[in-house]
Amino acid sequence: MISLLEIFRKREISIRSYNVCKENNINSIRDLKQYYFKHKHFLKFKNCGKKSNIELKEICNKYQEEYVYDREPEISKVNSLKKIIPDLTRVQREVINSFILVNTNSLSVRSKNAISLHLKGNLKIKNFAEQILFSDDFTVKKIKNVGAKCIPEIEIYISKIKDFLTEVSQSIDEKRLVSLKNNFLIQRTFSISKIPSEILESESIFLLTDFLLNQNALYNETHTIIVKKAFKIYQNQKDLTLDQIAEDINLTRERVRQIKLVCLENLFNKLLFTQNFTDDLYQKYNIDINSNQLEIDNEIVDIINNTNNTNLSREFITYILFAYLWDKFSLIGEIEDVLQPRYFNDRNRHNWKSFYLIEKEIVKEIDFNALANDIENRINDRIVESYSFNFKSYLSKFLTNNNIEILDIAFPIGEKMINDEFELYLDLDENLIFKRNTKKQAHEYAYEALEHLGKPSKVKEIFEKVLELYPNYDTDEFKVRVSMKRKNGFVPIGRKSVFGLKKWEKELDNFKGGTIRHIVKEYLSQFAEPKHIFEITNYVLKYRPKSNQYSILQNLKLDESGLYIFYKGSHIGLSTKKYTEAHIKSASIDKSVRKSWEERFDDLLNFAQIEKRLPYSNGVSEKEIKLYRWLNVQKSKINKGKFNDNKTNKINNLINKFPSINGKRRSNSNEKYGELITFVKSNFRLPSASKNGEENLYHFFYKQRKLFDKDKLETLEETQFIEVAKLLQNFKYENKRN
């Protein structure tokens, strides 16, 4: 006879009508027809309304003939299952266990929780049979927390498992069983009706992932398009910017960025589904999962792609393996660095080129991220002289539990990592060498030239000696002059473009660098009382024998810093020291000696050569403002005809050499980008804040980068900014190739 459960499963009656029948002990069509024949309606049933009454009548009218139920009685079926289950093979049990798991997960939340509680979380076929199929007192109604609405759903769920168990027990073809299990898993999880047999039978996690991605099963269609365009999924994939992707799929740049971020965060969980498959990695691809590290090189990538007829990238293949083997291996390497193109690096950490799959127990003992960050910091620092570490000793710095024994195992892993990430290689004594990364600076050439000259020399002499020592070195007198700064070990000798080496102050007698004022300051700082000009002169003449007392005195009087204090009796002291009241300051100081016109013009000329422009009137130093005012006075005198031809020609030639200005700072991003791009093409690097003449361009780039990170650049500016980034990437790539 036909049960009402079958009718309900065929959706011929509603759940309300089904529940009405169950509550009134009507379990089959025969029971229903007997009641109807006797009472002519079902309104006396508890909770039966007009709609259910009409629906049940229609069922009675539909099933007029006598039906013979061709299945074995329930008790016979149970006995049959008791014989079947002990004889199931391992593969058959796995298939049935997967079927139970997936069907349980597809139940409503309340039904799923009730079944899980009843089975105490053990969904294996053995426990399922003992607790449900073979239990004499089991009924769905007795399951804790099961309501009337859940009963039909759970009855159908149990019936499905019984039928599937019988079907699987009759199949001994292992390949068919695997295909059956995989087909069911994929269909139930992703609602895909047609799945190629090669995917079901091969159990390839790579073929499966490629299939699911192309079927929009991992993400919806729009998200899948963004994933394929934004991440390194395939080999030889073109790197696209957010703007290019947004234009391709008709979304805003910000919306594409948001979707990309969500997809990246969810990728690992999406790929965990591969763990339901049993891919023979060693047999197929020669990947030994018993090793300490899985090295996925280009040869293995080719084997995987050729075997599965795919075109997956090395990065994506490694990440699939990580999701598949995550219980045994840890992933070293940031997914944001490796799986997507980056135009600019994070300055606060190492930016990874590749993924590394390392056994979890090793990762617990060694902090490989800290190792990479430390090496990154070292090679990015200016290394003036090469130095080295014994690699094993260096690696011990990154032990997390002081387990020295792990170093022998971690050694080859760390070595492989520094080879691939930094192109650093150990020497024959297993030392890690950090080589000098700075080119010979301009000041180093000048320093060497002065050492050869052996005495304070004029800039011209130093320049000529540099060319003599290095005939192929491209420089000029001006570059040599600006390189000789105190911080680089040089000291000026007066104000006549004569320089010496600071180390000579300790090595040579009667040598002292700096101006006469500096020498006087050093001398006066040694005493508690002011000194007579005669004593000061005698001290200065040791180091500046061509000077004289009058010249020294006038030099000090012209100082505008207020450092020197003049007392009666030709005594001089320092404003930074406190003297006794016995010393009386002079009433007036003769500052009649001023800079000549030629000296002022030389100051202006030096400024223009260094800054590559004429002085500004505001937002700059007081010294530059004075030069600006002096230049305007000269232009006014020229207009009034108060200058001779010589001075007029000098001023006009200087003005014509540099662009005209209105005295105020101007910043045009388009012009600045042109200047920045020209600089990068010429120097193969970004401007530096610490290099003379590059400061302004560096500050412009720094501000533009901040705006780019905050997504606040205009479209044209953003395009130009990315162009700069690509130039830098191309230079870096060419350097590696060479």
Q: What is the pLDDT of residues 517-549, one digit of tens each?
A: 888 998 999 998 999 999 999 988 888 888 888
- The answer to whether the beta carbons of residues 84 and 165 sit under 8 Å apart is yes
Q: Compute the residue count for the chain.
A: 738
Angle of helix 150-169 relative to helix 90-105, nearest 10 degrees? 160
Residue 206's Cα: distance from chain center in Å? 26
CA 468/CA 449 separation, integer angstroms = 9
CA dist 131 to 104, 119, 122, 668, Å? Answer: 15, 7, 10, 79
What pLDDT band is residue 667 in, cutting at 50, 70 and 90?
A: very low
- What secondary structure letter does DSSP report for 31? H
pLDDT above 70 coverage of the chain, percent: 93
Q: What pLDDT shows up at residue 703?
A: 81
Identify which of 540, 551, 586, 552 has the alpha carbon closest to the alpha carbon of residue 566: 586
CA dist 693 to 132, 348, 696, 724, Å? Answer: 84, 27, 7, 20
CA 417/CA 412 separation, integer angstroms = 9
Q: What pLDDT shows up at residue 400?
A: 94
- DSSP codes joined into one string, 654-674: HHHHS----SS----HHHHHH
- The answer to whether the beta carbons of residues 20 and 14 sit under 8 Å apart is no
- What secondary structure letter does DSSP report for 3? B
Residue 89's Cα: distance from chain center in Å? 49
Q: What pLDDT shows up at residue 666?
A: 36
Q: What pLDDT shows up at residue 79?
A: 66
Which range, 152-161, 401-410, 500-509, 515-524, is most confident?
401-410
CA 73/CA 79 separation, integer angstroms = 10
Give the tokens for residue 286.
């020669």
CA 313/CA 568 separation, integer angstroms = 87
- The answer to whether the beta carbons of residues 459 and 477 sit under 8 Å apart is yes
**Any idea which of 150-154, 419-423, 728-732 has the lowest mean pLDDT?**
728-732
pLDDT surpassing 50 at residue 661: no
Span 340-365, pLDDT tens digits: 987 777 778 999 999 999 999 999 99
CB-based contacts of 561, cutoff 8 Å, min separation 6? none
What pLDDT band is residue 67 in, cutting at 50, 70 and 90?
A: very low
Q: Which residue has the higher pLDDT, 729 or 75?
A: 729
- The answer to whether the beta carbons of residues 285 and 304 sit under 8 Å apart is yes
Give the chain's mean pLDDT: 84
Q: What pLDDT shows up at residue 712?
A: 74
pLDDT surpassing 80 at residue 181: no
CA torsion through residues 452, 453, 459, 463, sign: negative
Span 269-322, pLDDT tens digits: 999 989 888 889 999 999 999 999 999 999 999 999 999 999 999 999 999 999
Q: What pLDDT shows up at residue 665?
A: 37
CA 409/CA 393 separation, integer angstroms = 14
Identify which of 374, 344, 366, 368 has the alpha carbon closest to the alpha carbon of residue 354: 368
CB-based contacts of 677, cutoff 8 Å, min separation 6? 720, 723, 724, 727
Q: Strand pairing partners for 500?
A: 491
User: CA 702, 708, 711 angle in degrees (round to 5)?
Assistant: 150
Look up residue 299 and give its amino acid.
E
What pLDDT band is residue 55 in, cutting at 50, 70 and 90?
A: confident
Q: What pLDDT shows up at residue 588?
A: 55
- The answer to whether the beta carbons of residues 355 and 400 sit under 8 Å apart is no
Q: What pLDDT shows up at residue 66?
A: 38
Q: What pLDDT shows up at residue 620?
A: 66
CA torsion through residues 208, 213, 216, 218, sign: positive
Give the tokens for residue 122.
């053990």
CB-based contacts of 270, cutoff 8 Å, min separation 6? 218, 219
pLDDT surpassing 90 at residue 250: yes
pLDDT surpassing 90 at residue 669: no
Give the tokens for residue 276.
């339901």
- The answer to whether the beta carbons of residues 492 and 516 sit under 8 Å apart is no
- The answer to whether the beta carbons of residues 447 and 456 sit under 8 Å apart is no
Q: Which residue has the higher pLDDT, 680 or 622?
A: 680
pLDDT surpassing 80 at residue 72: no
pLDDT surpassing 70 at residue 253: yes
CA 142/CA 138 separation, integer angstroms = 7
What pLDDT band is residue 495 in, cutting at 50, 70 and 90?
A: low
Which range, 419-423, 617-621, 661-665, is most confident?
419-423
Q: Determine the average pLDDT of the residues in 109-113.
A: 90
Q: Phi and psi for 713 in degrees, rounded to 5?
A: -80, 145
Q: What pLDDT shows up at residue 70?
A: 40
User: CA 78, 80, 82 angle in degrees (round to 5)?
Assistant: 70
Give 399: exposed, middle or buried? Use CB within 10 Å, 0-12, 13-18, 19+. middle
First to last CA, the chain: 84
Give 701: exposed, middle or buried? Use CB within 10 Å, 0-12, 13-18, 19+. buried
pLDDT surpassing 70 at residue 16: yes
Span 404-460, pLDDT tens digits: 999 999 999 999 999 999 999 998 889 999 987 777 788 888 898 999 998 889 999
* Alpha helices (H) in 525-621, listed in sequence order: 533-541, 549-557, 597-611
Give the tokens for residue 215.
């079927």
CA 668/CA 686 separation, integer angstroms = 19
Residue holding tokens 């080999």? 235
pLDDT surpassing 60 at residue 199: yes
User: CA 613, 618, 620 angle in degrees (round to 5)?
Assistant: 65
Q: What pLDDT shows up at residue 724?
A: 84
CB-based contacts of 50, cutoff 8 Å, min separation 6? 43
Span 684-703, pLDDT tens digits: 888 887 777 787 788 788 88
Q: Which residue has the higher pLDDT, 589 or 456?
A: 456
**Any idea which of 101-115, 248-262, 304-318 has the lowest mean pLDDT?**
101-115
Q: What pLDDT shows up at residue 515?
A: 84
Identify which of 23, 32, 39 has the alpha carbon closest to the alpha carbon of residue 3: 32
H/E element holding 41?
Answer: none
Q: Determine the average pLDDT of the residues in 33-39.
A: 76
Give 631: exposed, middle or buried? Use CB within 10 Å, 0-12, 13-18, 19+. buried
Identify which of 421, 291, 256 has the alpha carbon closest to the alpha carbon of residue 352: 421
Q: Determine the average pLDDT of the residues in 389-396.
A: 94
